[in-house]
Copies of this chain bind each other. A is one copy, B any other.
Amino acid sequence: MTKKIRVAVLGATGLVGQAMLDCLIARNFPVDQLYPLATANSAGETIQFGRRDYEVLDAETFDFSKADLAFFTAGADASRHFAPRALAAGCRIVDNTSAFRMDKNVPLVIPEINADTIHDAPLIANPNCATIQLLMALYPIDQRFGISEVVVSTYQSVSGVGRSGVEALAKQSIGILNSKAVEDSEAFPAGIAFNVIPQIGTLDEQGYSEEEEKLYQESRKILDRDDLSIHATAVRVPTFFGHAESVFFRTAQPCDAAAIETMLSEAAGIKFWPHPSYPMPRYDALESDEVHVGRLRAVHDDTEAFSFWSVTNNVQKGAALNSIQIAEVMFGVRT
């Protein structure tokens, strides 16, 4: 039997923090003591875990030596602030922010792909949700045929920015449908209701958004492929939950769609939708842990180019579930 683990969750009142708590229970993670943490704003609130109420503690005054493991999901600044203290106190961290993802000493892990990089590292980074979704589908294909080039355009839901995004979409939609002036939310660079916004995160000098750069850099790190060409366009769309991706890729070796279909149908964590079925965010994201892949097509007049469409619950496999899966490997938990 696995030893019980003392678990802290920093950002326990947020959308992903709550999903992590639910996921710990759903996967029967051996939680000994739970410490829900937050920054000063949310400390003092009450959250539920299983059948018990817990008071949310202020991370600033928390003694991290009380926890064996902490999930960090309160933003990159909070991670940079609290990580040194937690690690010094002997608490291992799964960080679901961008703070340490590109740090050479920090493994960036999707357990189905590179669990072997975890070893006994005290700090593991959870990749960006759109990266996880992309690589879960591409990895089995890369293993067998080699992928040389990827072009991805995303359709990302408002829950990607947390609860404020969900509230903004609902509020703005109601306003527009009632012909009332609605203030735009700070959650997005423009009004999101009945709109699509081709910017997620700030834009750099080359014109790339942060989300696009994450997809590029994180994918190359996780696949350990510095030669891989990945071009992303990240777009926010007015859906509540579930990200979608339109993915074009080129293989190093000629292959055919039937072989790719067989491979994806057998891959762990993938649900393959054969033609003419396909997944959609509103119907297929919420109640599911898998990366849904459909609309697999061979590109006309080309034996090395293909495309597919994928949908995933961005809060779940894109964040909470993947983090818990990392922790299971770190602590040798078998579920």
Contacts and interface: CB of A to CB of B under 8 A. Distances in A.
A231 B299 contact: yes
Contact of A170 (B174, B177, B237): B177
Contact of A281 (B196, B203, B282): B196
A134 to B, nearest CB: 14
Interface stretch (A69-77, A138-146, A238-246): A238-246
Contact of A237 (B169, B196, B240, B296): B196
Contact of A177 (B174, B197, B229): B174
Given A195-B280, A239-B195, A298 B206 contact: yes
Contact of A207 (B151, B216, B244, B295): B295
Nearest to A297: B207
Contact of A206 (B196, B240, B294, B297): B297
Contacts of A298: 206
Nearest to A275: B207
A302 interface: yes
Given A177-B174, A198-B295, A155 B237 contact: yes
Nearest to A195: B282
Interface string A219-258: 0000000000101010101111000101010000000000
A117 interface: no
A174 to B, nearest CB: 6
Contacts of A300: 216, 229, 231
A309 B198 contact: yes
Contacts of A237: 155, 196, 237-238
Nearest to A295: B198
A54 interface: no
Interface of A: 151, 153, 155, 169-170, 173-174, 177, 190-191, 193-199, 203, 206-208, 216, 229, 231, 233, 235, 237-240, 244, 246, 248, 275-276, 278, 280-283, 294-302, 305, 307, 309
Given A191-B282, A208-B297, A233-B246, 6 more contacts: A151-B151, A151-B248, A194-B239, A197-B280, A198-B244, A207-B296
